C-alpha cells in the first residue's frame, strides 16, 4: 500500500512539474509572439522586426548554448560524482568572455556602432548567466520556482517594451527581463555562492565541451533560418518566415521545459530506465508529436490572418511542410534528451554533430539556389532522419542501462 501511495505521490509531482515547466514556456511565448513581435511589426515595420529577430537569433545561438550546456553538465555530473559551485564558475566566466567577443564583433560588423556593439556584448553575458542560473531550480526539482523565474522574465520583457518606445533602444526589451530573472535567482538561490572546487575540472570540462559543441549546433540550426534568410534574401523575408513558423517553433520551444524534466529526473541516480520505460516513453513522445502537428496546422492560418494578414497569401502555402519538419525536430529532441540523461554524451554529441553540420551546409546552398522552399525541404528531411536515428539509439541506451542494473546471480557454495 505504501509503495502505491509513493507512486501516486511521485506521479502527482511529475504532473505538477510538467504543468509548471510548460506554463513557463507558454507565458513567455504569449508575451513574445502575441504581444511583443506583432507590436514591433505594427509600429516599426517588417524590416526593423526582421533585424531584431536576426540579432536575437545570434543570442539564442552562442550565449544560450553556453548557459544551457553548463546547466546540463551540472545535472548529469551528479549521476557519477559530487560537484560544487566552484567547479562551474570558472568555466562560465571563460565562456562568457568568448560570447562577449563574438557578439561584439557581429554587432559591429552589421551596425558599425561601438556603443551598440558593447551593449550587445554585455547583453550576451547577462543572457548566458541567466540561462545557467535556471539550474538552481532543476537541481532541486523546484519547478514552481522555475515557473516564477520565467514569469519574471516575461513581465520584464513587457516593461522593456515600454522602455523601447521611450528610448528606441530595442536591447532594453530583453535586457530588462533577463536582469530581473537574474536578480530573482540571486535572491532565492545559492548557485552563485562561493564554494571551493572539488578538483574535478578536467572531467567536468570534457563533458561540458561535448555538450557545448552539440548545443551550439542544435541552437545554431534552430536559429539558422533567421541568419541564412537575412544573409541570402532579406530582413522582410525573415519576418515572413518567422510568422509562418511561429506556431511550430512555439511548440518546439516546449523542448526546453520538457527536456528539463527528462534530464532532471532521468539523470538522478535513483531513477531507473529499461525496455518497458522505453515503450511508454516512445508512445507518449510520438503521440504528443502528432497532436502538436495537428494543432499547428489549425493554429498557423488563424494566427497569420490575425497578426500578419498583409503577407498571408504569399507564404501560407508552405505551412504543412514547415510544421511537419519542426514537429519532427521537436520529437527527435525528446529522445536526444533521454540519451543525454543516461550520461551518453558522446552519442548525443555525435547525433547533434552529424545533423547540425548537414543542416547548416544544405540549408545554405539550397536556400541560395531555391529560396525559401529549399530551406523548408532541408528542415523536413533532416529532422525526420534525426527522429528515426534517435529513437533507435534511445532504445539501445535504455536497454544497456537496464542490463547494467541487473544484479549478478548469487552463486551458492556446494553443500
Q: What is the pLDDT of residue 405?
A: 41
Domain limits of the chain?
2-403
Cα–chain-centroid distance for residue 245? 16
Question: Could you tell me the three cell numbers for 107?
Answer: 554587432
Q: What is the pLDDT of residue 209?
A: 81
Q: Write the burial class of residue 368 (CB in 10 Å: 0-12 exposed, 13-18 middle, 19+ buried).
A: middle
d(C-alpha 338, C-alpha 329), whole Å: 15
Q: What is the pLDDT of residue 227?
A: 79
Which phi-psi region, left, alpha or beta, contains residue 268 (left: φ > 0; alpha: ψ -120 to 50)?
Answer: beta
pTM of the model: 0.69
Q: Mind listing the pLDDT tens digit of every residue in the chain (415 residues)?
A: 554 555 555 656 767 777 787 787 778 878 887 889 888 888 888 788 888 888 988 888 889 888 888 888 887 776 666 777 777 888 888 889 999 999 999 999 988 889 999 999 999 999 999 999 888 887 777 878 888 988 999 999 999 999 999 998 999 999 999 999 999 988 877 777 787 777 777 777 777 887 788 777 777 777 778 778 888 888 788 888 888 888 887 776 666 667 666 766 665 555 556 677 788 888 988 998 899 899 999 999 998 888 888 888 888 999 999 999 999 988 998 888 888 777 677 888 888 889 888 988 998 999 888 888 999 999 999 999 999 999 988 888 776 655 444 444 433 334 3
Q: Using an 8 Å Cβ cutoff, are 338 and 262 in contact?
A: yes
Amino acid at each position: 500500500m505504501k509503495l502505491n501511495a509513493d507512486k501516486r505521490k511521485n506521479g502527482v509531482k511529475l504532473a505538477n512539474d510538467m504543468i509548471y515547466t510548460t506554463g513557463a514556456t507558454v507565458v513567455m511565448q504569449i508575451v513574445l509572439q502575441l504581444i511583443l513581435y506583432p507590436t514591433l511589426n505594427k509600429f516599426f515595420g517588417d524590416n526593423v522586426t526582421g533585424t531584431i529577430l536576426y540579432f536575437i537569433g545570434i543570442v539564442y545561438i552562442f550565449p544560450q548554448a553556453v548557459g544551457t550546456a553548463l546547466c546540463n553538465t551540472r545535472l548529469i555530473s551528479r549521476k557519477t560524482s559530487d560537484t560544487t559551485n566552484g567547479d562551474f564558475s570558472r568555466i562560465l566566466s571563460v565562456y562568457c568572455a568568448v560570447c562577449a567577443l563574438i557578439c561584439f564583433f557581429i554587432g559591429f560588423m552589421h551596425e558599425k556602432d561601438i556603443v551598440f556593439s558593447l551593449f550587445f556584448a554585455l547583453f550576451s553575458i547577462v543572457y548566458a548567466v541567466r540561462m545557467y542560473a535556471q539550474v538552481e531550480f532543476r537541481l532541486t526539482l523546484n519547478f514552481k520556482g522555475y515557473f516564477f523565474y520565467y514569469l519574471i522574465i516575461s513581465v520584464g520583457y513587457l516593461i522593456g517594451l515600454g522602455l523601447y518606445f521611450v528610448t528606441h533602444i530595442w536591447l532594453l526589451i530583453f535586457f530588462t527581463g533577463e536582469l530581473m530573472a537574474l536578480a530573482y535567482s540571486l535572491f532565492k538561490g545559492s548557485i552563485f555562492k562561493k564554494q571551493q572546487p572539488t578538483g574535478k575540472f578536467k572531467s567536468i570540462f570534457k563533458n561540458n565541451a561535448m555538450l557545448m559543441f552539440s548545443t551550439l549546433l542544435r541552437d545554431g540550426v534552430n536559429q539558422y533560418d533567421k541568419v541564412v534568410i537575412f544573409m541570402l534574401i532579406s530582413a522582410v523575408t525573415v519576418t515572413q518566415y518567422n510568422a509562418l513558423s511561429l506556431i511550430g517553433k512555439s511548440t518546439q520551444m516546449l523542448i526546453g521545459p520538457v527536456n528539463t524534466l527528462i534530464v532532471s529526473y532521468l539523470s538522478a541516480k535513483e531513477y531507473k530506465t529499461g525496455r518497458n520505460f522505453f515503450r511508454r516513453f516512445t508512445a507518449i513522445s510520438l503521440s504528443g508529436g502528432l497532436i502538436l502537428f495537428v494543432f499547428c496546422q489549425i493554429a498557423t492560418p488563424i494566427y497569420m490572418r490575425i497578426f500578419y494578414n498583409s503577407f498571408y497569401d504569399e507564404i501560407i502555402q508552405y505551412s504543412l511542410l514547415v510544421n511537419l519538419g519542426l514537429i519532427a525536430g521537436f520529437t527527435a529532441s525528446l529522445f536526444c534528451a533521454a540519451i543525454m540523461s543516461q550520461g551518453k554524451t558522446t552519442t548525443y554529441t555525435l547525433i547533434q554533430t552529424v545533423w547540425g553540420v548537414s543542416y547548416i551546409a544544405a540549408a545554405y546552398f539550397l536556400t541560395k539556389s531555391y529560396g525559401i522552399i529549399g530551406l523548408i525541404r532541408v528542415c523536413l528531411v533532416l529532422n525526420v532522419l534525426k527522429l528515426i536515428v534517435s529513437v533507435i539509439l534511445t532504445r539501445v541506451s535504455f536497454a544497456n542501462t537496464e542490463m547494467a542494473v541487473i544484479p549478478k546471480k548469487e552463486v551458492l557454495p556446494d553443500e
